[in-house]
């Protein structure tokens, strides 16, 4: 009857249509180019992991694990989760395949991630991250390398106006001392905090530093400063990193309020932020996570990395600015009649073997109609096969963009003739 409602995509999960994919592929080519410059190699891990992986890495009390994961039991009753990020997967894979013991790894990845957040511009439930993970170096040289890699990528893509914010969270012990001091202070103002922050006070007080609430921000003005809780070795490491960034002529701002939404960070953390994307300001974020391999059952391995939201990056690039003109076919094969179609499929394959991009007329139609399609396709040349041509093993070659007049050629001359026309177009 045709009255069924149409099936729609899942909320927060987007189709990327061919025009958009052209742009994505250019960005992906840039990722490949820039990571290659620094010796990073691609890793691909599954989209599904055991739920435990994320509970043990991101942290059971984080927003991601508490309320944003797509978790379900499979037919065996195993609890599986669509990955909300890929750092944990990289470390798991490194442990599992013995890539970490007495070795170093420079890895990169790109792919879909899943978080059940409230969708809005720049925030989706299926989104894509490009990330790099450097495993096995204690830093801060590797952090400086990661940052320069990021900056090179922005330059390569023509993105400007990003601000790099950096901070040091210190060791687990330093953070625990700070957490206590922060709690003492905030408890004195508890009634004035926004309700989210009140909830976080008992469980994850550092995240209160992230609050967007104006009154909470005002109270935070008087809060103790994380930087003062670092021990001297941590302070030295952080200032050495700043020396390296200065030497690489990288601009940054120290933001002692910068904390991250994942629990595995130790020491250095950073974010590139923009004011061009509305509420979703973080384009790329990461830091050091020295405890994670051990937390996941491997040997202690120092590590650092970042991940960048590709939707946000592409929004910044601006589709128009990046996209090279759409690729047009070299030839359009006009095939008039049943016999011509049979002959034409062979011609098409031979022309493609010779390296041409060929669009074949499918769906029949008279000569005039097919020539209109040929013209609309953007092809340089139409190759026309009609009923009479089948007998004589000939075809007509018709330049479409003012490269001479139509002529008849023998089928075995076709490739040479077409090449001549296309060469003359190039010159």
State which of residues 83, 92, 115, 207 lies at the interface with ligand HAM (CB under 6 A).
Answer: 115
What pairing do the DSSP bridges indicate for beta strands 358-360 and 303-309? unpaired
* Shortest Å distance, C-beta 124 to ligand HAM: 4
Residue located via tokens 């894979």: 93
| Interatomic CA distance for residues 80 and 17, integer angstroms | 29
| Interatomic CA distance for residues 168 and 110, integer angstroms | 27
| Interatomic CA distance for residues 110 and 93, integer angstroms | 15
Cα 294 from chain centroid? 27
127 contributes a contact to ligand HAM by CB under 6 A: yes
Which residues lie below 8 Å from residue 304, measured CB to CB, with a gap of 6+?
133, 134, 137, 139, 142, 143, 146, 268, 286, 287, 288, 289
User: Which of residues 137 and 347 has its CB atom nearest to ligand HAM in the complex?
Assistant: 137
CA nearest neighbour of 298 among 46, 82, 57, 48: 57
95 contributes a contact to ligand HAM by CB under 6 A: no
User: Which of residues 241 and 285 has its CB atom nearest to ligand HAM in the complex?
Assistant: 285
Tokens of 179: 């957490």
* Shortest Å distance, C-beta 153 to ligand HAM: 13
Q: Which stretch binds ligand HAM (CB under 6 A): 21-29, 127-135, 167-175, 235-243?
A: 127-135
Q: Which stretch binds ligand HAM (CB under 6 A): 137-145, 154-162, 198-206, 284-292?
A: 284-292
* Shortest Å distance, C-beta 144 to ligand HAM: 15
Tokens of 166: 């950096």
Residues 264-283 that bind ligand HAM (CB under 6 A): 282-283
Backbone torsion region of residue 337, taken as left when φ is above 0, otherwise alpha when ψ lies between -120 and 50, otherwise beta: left
315 contributes a contact to ligand HAM by CB under 6 A: no
- Euclidean distance between the first and final Cα of the chain, in Å? 58
Q: Contact letters (x/-) for ligand HAM, 187-226, by CB under 6 A?
A: ----------------------------------------
Q: Which stretch binds ligand HAM (CB under 6 A): 165-173, 244-252, 306-314, 411-419?
A: 306-314
* Shortest Å distance, C-beta 280 to ligand HAM: 7
81 contributes a contact to ligand HAM by CB under 6 A: no
Q: Which stretch binds ligand HAM (CB under 6 A): 32-40, 301-309, 320-328, 375-383?
A: 301-309
Residue 117, classified by CB atoms within 10 Å of its CB into exposed (0-12), middle (13-18) or buried (19+), is middle
User: Which of residues 62 and 171 has its CB atom nearest to ligand HAM in the complex?
Assistant: 62
State which of residues 142, 164, 174, 285 lies at the interface with ligand HAM (CB under 6 A).
Answer: 285
Residue 127, SS3 per DSSP: strand
Find the helix or strand (DSSP H, E) in which 237 lies. Answer: helix 232-247
| Residues recorded for the chain | 427
330 contributes a contact to ligand HAM by CB under 6 A: no
Binding site for ligand HAM (CB under 6 A): 85, 87, 115, 117, 123-124, 127, 129, 131, 133, 261-262, 282-287, 289, 305-309, 311-312
């Amino acid at each position: 009857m045709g009255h069924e409602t149409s099936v729609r995509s899942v909320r927060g999960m987007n189709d990327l249509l061919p025009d958009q994919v052209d742009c994505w592929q250019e960005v992906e080519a840039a990722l490949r180019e820039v990571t290659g410059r620094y010796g990073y190699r691609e890793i691909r891990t599954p989209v599904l992991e055991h739920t435990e992986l994320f509970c043990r890495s991101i942290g059971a009390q984080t927003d991601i694990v508490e309320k944003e994961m797509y978790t379900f039991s499979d037919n065996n009753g195993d609890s599986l989760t669509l990955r909300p990020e890929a750092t944990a997967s990289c470390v798991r894979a490194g442990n599992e395949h013995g890539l970490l013991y007495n070795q170093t790894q420079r890895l990169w990845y790109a792919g879909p991630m899943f978080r059940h957040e409230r969708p809005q511009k720049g925030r989706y439930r299926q989104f894509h991250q490009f990330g790099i993970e450097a495993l096995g170096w204690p830093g801060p040289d590797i952090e400086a390398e990661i940052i320069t890699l990021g900056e090179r990528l922005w330059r390569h893509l023509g993105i400007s106006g990003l601000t790099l914010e950096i901070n040091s969270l210190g060791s687990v012990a330093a953070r625990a001392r700070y957490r206590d001091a922060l709690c003492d202070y905030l408890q004195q103002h508890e009634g004035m905090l926004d309700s989210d922050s009140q909830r976080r006070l008992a469980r994850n007080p550092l995240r209160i530093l992230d609050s967007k609430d104006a009154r909470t921000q005002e109270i935070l003005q008087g809060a103790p400063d994380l930087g003062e809780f670092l021990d001297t070795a941590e302070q030295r490491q952080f200032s050495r990193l700043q020396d390296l960034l200065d030497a690489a002529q990288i601009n940054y701002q120290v933001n002692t309020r910068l904390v991250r939404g994942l629990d595995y960070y130790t020491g250095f953390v950073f974010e590139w932020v923009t004011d061009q994307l509305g509420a979703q300001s973080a384009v790329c974020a990461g830091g050091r996570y020295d405890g994670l391999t051990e937390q996941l059952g491997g040997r202690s391995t120092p590590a650092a990395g970042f991940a960048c939201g590709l939707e946000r990056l592409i929004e910044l690039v601006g589709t128009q600015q990046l996209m090279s003109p759409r690729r047009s076919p070299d030839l359009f094969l006009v095939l008039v009649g049943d016999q011509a179609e049979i002959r034409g499929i062979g011609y098409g394959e031979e022309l493609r073997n010779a390296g041409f991009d060929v669009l074949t007329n499918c769906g029949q139609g008279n000569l005039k109609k097919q020539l209109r399609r040929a013209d609309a396709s953007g092809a340089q040349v139409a190759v026309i096969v009609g009923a009479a041509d089948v007998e004589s093993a000939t075809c007509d070659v018709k330049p479409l963009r003012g490269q001479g007049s139509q002529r008849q050629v023998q089928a075995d001359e076709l490739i040479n003739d077409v090449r001549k026309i296309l060469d003359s177009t190039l010159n």
